[in-house]
A and B are shown apart, each in its own frame.
Chain A
Amino acid sequence: MLLRLAKGGPERQAIEAGEIDAIIDYASSNVILLPAARAVLERKRAQAGQQESNRFARATLDALASQVYVLDSAGTVIMANKAWRASAPAAEGIAAVVPEGANFLAVCDNAAGSERAHGIAIAAGIRRVTGEESSLFRHEYDCDSPAGRCRFVVTVTGFREDGAARAVVARENITGRKAVEQPLKLGYSVAYPGRTASTKPAANAVNSLLASLPAEEYQRLLAALEPVTLTYGEVLYERGVPIKHAYFPVNCLVSLLTTVGGHEALEVGLVGHEGMVSVALALGIDVSPARALVQATGIAMRMEAARFREEFLQSISLQQALHRYAYALMAQIAQNAACNRFHTVGERLARWLLMTRDRVRSNEFRLTHAFLADMLGVRRVGVTIAANALQKRKLIKYGRGEITILDRKRLSTASCECYRIIKRIYDGA
């Protein structure tokens, strides 16, 4: 194209003087950037992108009530959010404010006195996450503060940034929440701000499988169970890893996932208040066959594996209930296999929404398209299209990560037959 520009003409001269950024090539209808200009523009674009994502990350972290650090693989604080920067400057040990650039792992490793065990546990959890042996680590602990005895939960998750391993450490004060969870043992609903307490046992506050046992057995088991809050995204078991606790969900939802090398984990089963996570314990096996991932935050009743085995051996009715449940779960997983293979995304999405609704006992829940896409084993765009179609038929409403089921009956006709088949097995079992 340079040939078209007159030799000695003003354009040629300007190019030779280095005063030109780009040439228009009419032959190919393209704007051709000269190398110097291209280099500058690419540098600017990279910088702008980096600044934008840093701004976004900081703004998001600062909006959270929890104290959040982002650590690099050596444990140095890259980013500390507002909640942590604003916390008590006099706090010591693992509650101390570690400024950006200082090393949080060192603080945990060097924790002293009553915090030593917690510091060690947290440091080990962080190392496991950055070493990619675990995707989530959670540690609850009590500590004494001037305000009295407090309970904290520390969660650690990991991600990769340009190939470098990062850990996100979040610490939340759950003293208030713990106090409120205790009464749930009796099956009574509790007063949260906005809800009034009732003295009747609330149907939503129990695990149905346990509640179906004879009253004496049920009460005995309740005394041995501890209510815990399971958080969305938390991994309860990995496949092949020894099971530490048995969980009986009350109003949370747990997915059973299986991975095939190279693919995202696929959901093969859903467990809610009708069952037990890792019924393998009831079959005398102490490892989980699949990953158990918490899908919806809520409460579950938990018992240590060893204690559970003792209780199980002593109670014929518990054995019977769990054997029936194991059958129903196997049927669900088998049905899932066929459904995943043959039914359309739309039908499967409708079924998944209904099964979730049955287990969390609510028509509204939060989840992202990306999460749904992973569960259904399809691309995210497929979920968006299917969800749009359901929304167009006024069966659901979704937006900003929240899904509301508007018409359950018609949604079940939109779902594949697997929903009814599985439901019948559970209801009959």
Chain B
Amino acid sequence: MSRPRVKSKARGAGVTTVVVLRLYIVGGAPNSVQALVNLEKICQEYLKDGYKLEVVDVLEHPRRAMDEGVLVTPSLAKLSPGPTANVVGNLSDKAKVLHALGLKGKGT
């Protein structure tokens, strides 16, 4: 489902899918730091509690980054719900990120 929420009259009821994200970074590097900050802002604004974010440092886990096909960092992968999507760079282009996350941003 690309829509994250099913509207329901009863408050608190309703099924929400969890958006699973993975951000590949180089810990401490400038673009990576910025990407993480930007992503968390977006998630908190648009996904609230409905997301799971894993941060993978490619210097600490290079094998894993290669197994998962990472080309450059920082790099964001949306794993679920399908279809998967990718955004590379420091994620300062909010519209691009929201599009990849399958959310329609305000005004887009």
Contact = CB atoms under 8 A, between A and B. Distances in A.
Interface of A: 4-5, 10-11, 14-15, 17-24, 26, 29-31, 33, 36-37, 40-41, 44
A38 to B, nearest CB: 8
A40 B90 contact: no
A29 B67 CA distance: 11
A187 B63 CA distance: 71
Contact of B88 (A14, A30, A31, A40): A14
Contact of B59 (A14, A19, A31, A36): A31
A266 B62 CA distance: 46
27 contacts: A10-B88, A14-B88, A17-B89, A19-B88, A19-B89, A19-B90, A20-B31, A20-B72, A20-B89, A21-B25, A21-B29, A21-B30, A22-B29, A22-B58, A22-B59, A24-B58, A24-B65, A24-B66, A24-B72, A26-B66, A29-B62, A30-B62, A31-B59, A31-B65, A33-B29, A37-B31, A41-B29
Interface of B: 25-26, 28-32, 58-59, 62, 65-66, 70-74, 86-90, 92
Contact of A14 (B30, B58, B70, B89): B89
Contacts of B71: 4-5, 11, 23-24
A44 B33 CA distance: 13
Given A5-B72, A20-B89, A24-B66, 20 more contacts: A5-B71, A11-B88, A14-B72, A15-B72, A19-B31, A21-B25, A21-B26, A21-B73, A21-B74, A22-B26, A22-B59, A22-B72, A24-B58, A31-B26, A31-B58, A36-B30, A37-B26, A37-B29, A40-B28, A41-B28
Q: Which of A14, A30, A36 has the most CB of B within 10 A?
A: A14
Nearest to B70: A24
A274 B87 CA distance: 79
Among all A-B residue pairs, the 4 with the closest Cβ atoms: A19-B89, A21-B29, A14-B89, A37-B29
A18 to B, nearest CB: 8
A273 to B, nearest CB: 56
A20 B28 contact: no
B66 A29 contact: yes
A11 to B, nearest CB: 5
B77 to A, nearest CB: 13
Contacts of A44: 28
B32 to A, nearest CB: 5
A20 B74 contact: yes
B46 to A, nearest CB: 21
Q: Which of B30, B31, B72, B89 has the most CB of A within 10 A?
A: B72
Contacts of A18: 31
Contacts of A14: 72, 88-89
Nearest to B96: A10
A221 B63 CA distance: 76
Contacts of B30: 21, 36-37, 40
B42 to A, nearest CB: 16
Contacts of B59: 22, 31
Nearest to B90: A19
A41 B27 CA distance: 9
Contacts of A26: 66
Contact of B26 (A19, A30, A41): A41
A420 B32 CA distance: 66
Contact of B62 (A21, A31, A36): A31
